[in-house]
Structure 1
Amino acid sequence: MRPLCGQPTDNDPLWNDVQYCTHGTVPPPPQPKPACLKTTPNYVVLHGKPENQHNYLLIPTCRITGIECPFLETSGAENYWNDAWENARSGGSFPVQYPNIGLGINSQGARRFDQLHIHMAGVRASTQRRLQELDTMGRLATQPSQWNAPANQSAVSGPPGSGDRTYRILKLPNLAQNLFTLLYRYVVVPSGLNMADQTLIVVPKMTTAGFAGSFYVLNSDTSLHNGTSTCDYLLVYN
């Protein structure tokens, strides 16, 4: 395993949780045993904090520290984003009980734990409305090659009082493509950025009838004016 991806012997709390769910290895004290909500060959699902019905984590069963791990950009990597959506959607194993769903991953500097984890949480109705407004105005990319264009960067509001943050926004019809590869190829490399500094957020397009069959993929980092390297401004955990 490459150094950026960590080692199986690492003592990270989330990695210890994975080891318990997959192999029964008890975490070292004082770390408690996790509630293994779902265990598959490729990932486990755990509660997020705080524990509720719209805050879950999807975590790979192989050692991957986070977004900076180059393995994620290869064809051998599992499509964790699609896995997260299939679990979080209505009818999934752990449907997010919130009017709008958000999936997100933090940058290396913004995260608490060093085992890749995708948050499966809620997003505010105002976030959904803003993304649909930008969609209607043609203010987002519809091809990955357009994702990095300044015209496809827009402000999206977070919680009241937190101000706007700028995101690069891409609309996709599905999550079949590797989002890590798209981010690296079409944003990180052309702009001379670091993969470790990036955040990714996926917001399924929703209407009153339910899922509308497409996804808004947001990326940001602090190289953008009012950019951010965390998904926490948009996701709702509480």
Structure 2
Amino acid sequence: MNDHRNAHEVPRRQFVALSGVVGASALLAGTAAAGTAVAAVRPESGERLPELCPLPPRPGHSPCPPAHLQSLCGSPADNDPLWNDVRYCTTGVVPPPPQGKPECLKTTANYVVLHGKPENTHNYLLSPSCRITGIECPFLETPGVENYWDDAWDNARSGGSVPVHYDNIGLGINSQGARRLDQLHIHMAGVRPSTQRRLQELDSMGRMATQPADWAKPANQAAITGRSGSAERTRTYRILKLRDLRQNLFTLLYQNVVRPAGLAMADQTLIVVPKMTSAGFAGRFYVLNSDPSLHNGTSTCDFLLVYA
């Protein structure tokens, strides 16, 4: 675990998200839209950050990670199977054999929706059209990056373009070590009714943060039981309740949990469970995070999500 943290320490300091700094996002968005390279300044130190977007983004696309981040975020020339699927959906480049052509359920300028495995009506993947390996890519915390979590919910919700047909919906991303595919993907799947009940119970007890700054506090950590195959597994999660997904969850996680505790983003898992009642979506989201630094923590979202 320390190897991951040490390997990413310097770049991650350089790419601290500036969304909380008044005016920084507007400045970066305006100059990037004009195709101008941006060097931001962190107010508390005066340290200049490297360019966020040295090349103008393609029309209709969010800026992609710059070339100097390829060692952390991947190269467009990589041969990852999921990245090959994304390239096929966005450019028509056929994946090499024996992979075969994927079914592109939805293709936009910013993301692609594909089937998960096994294929059914409650197991989908949302993946960026940019080359981004996963949660460890520091570009995900910068201003102006596409809000893939909000995109996933917009598609997975009832009435969405690729709705998850399950009583309770879950969105999740695995850590670097827990995933099989090295192209960022958010799972759009189901969660068990017991998970929804447990989260609402914790909500009623005040056992979750309502402000991102409190997310890492021990009082907002709780055990939730999920499943691995036929066996039940109980793991500890940090829980945050949000009204919407308009904020960048990667930024919130890094600024309020990972950086203060000296953890590594590469080790983190994130899970979003919309609060549901008999009337439908209740207008709140439970955002769960865990990693091996917690007692009985986990680096995978697979215990709570239902794929099969």
TM-score (norm 2): 0.77
Give, in angstroms, the shift of residue 32 of structure 1: 1.1
Which of 258, 283, 293 is matched with 1:223 structurally?
293
Is 1:109 paired with 2:144? no
User: Hey, what's the Cα distance between the residues in 1 that align with 2:139 and 2:129?
Assistant: 14
Aligned equivalent of 2:232: 162
Aligned equivalent of 2:192: 124
* Aligned partners of 2:110 and 2:146 also within 8 Å: yes
Q: Matches of residues 11-160 of structure 1 in structure 2 within 5 Å?
A: 11-159=79-227
> Percent identity of the aligned residues?
79
> Residue by residue, what CA displacement relative to the aligned partner does 1:160-219 show, whole Å, maximum 9, x if unpaired?
633210000000000000000000000000111000000000000000000000000000
Aligned equivalent of 2:281: 211
* Partner amino acid, structure 1, of 2:222: S
Q: Where does the alignment leave 5 or more consecutive residues of structure 1 unmatched?
A: none
Q: Where does the alignment leave 5 or more consecutive residues of structure 2 unmatched?
A: 1-66
> Residue by residue, what CA displacement relative to the aligned partner does 1:75-132 show, whole Å, maximum 9, x if unpaired?
1210000000000000000110000000000000000000000000000000000000
User: Hey, what's the Cα distance between the residues in 2 that align with 1:162 and 1:91?
Assistant: 32
User: Hey, what's the Cα distance between the residues in 2 that align with 1:141 and 1:20?
Assistant: 41
RMSD: 0.7
User: Hey, what's the Cα distance between the residues in 2 that align with 1:209 and 1:131?
Assistant: 17
> Residue by residue, what CA displacement relative to the aligned partner does 1:125-176 show, whole Å, maximum 9, x if unpaired?
0000000000000000000000000100000000263321000000000000
* Structure number, greater radius of gyration: 2
* Partner amino acid, structure 1, of 2:126: L
* Partner amino acid, structure 2, of 1:142: T
After superposing on structure 2, the runs of 4+ consecutive aligned residues of structure 1 that deviate more than 6 Å are none
Higher RCO, Cα 8 Å, sep 6+: 1
> Residue by residue, what CA displacement relative to the aligned partner does 1:7-57 show, whole Å, maximum 9, x if unpaired?
000000000001100000010111111000100000000000000000000
* Partner amino acid, structure 2, of 1:75: P
SS at match of 2:232: coil
User: Hey, what's the Cα distance between the residues in 2 that align with 1:47 and 1:31?
Assistant: 14
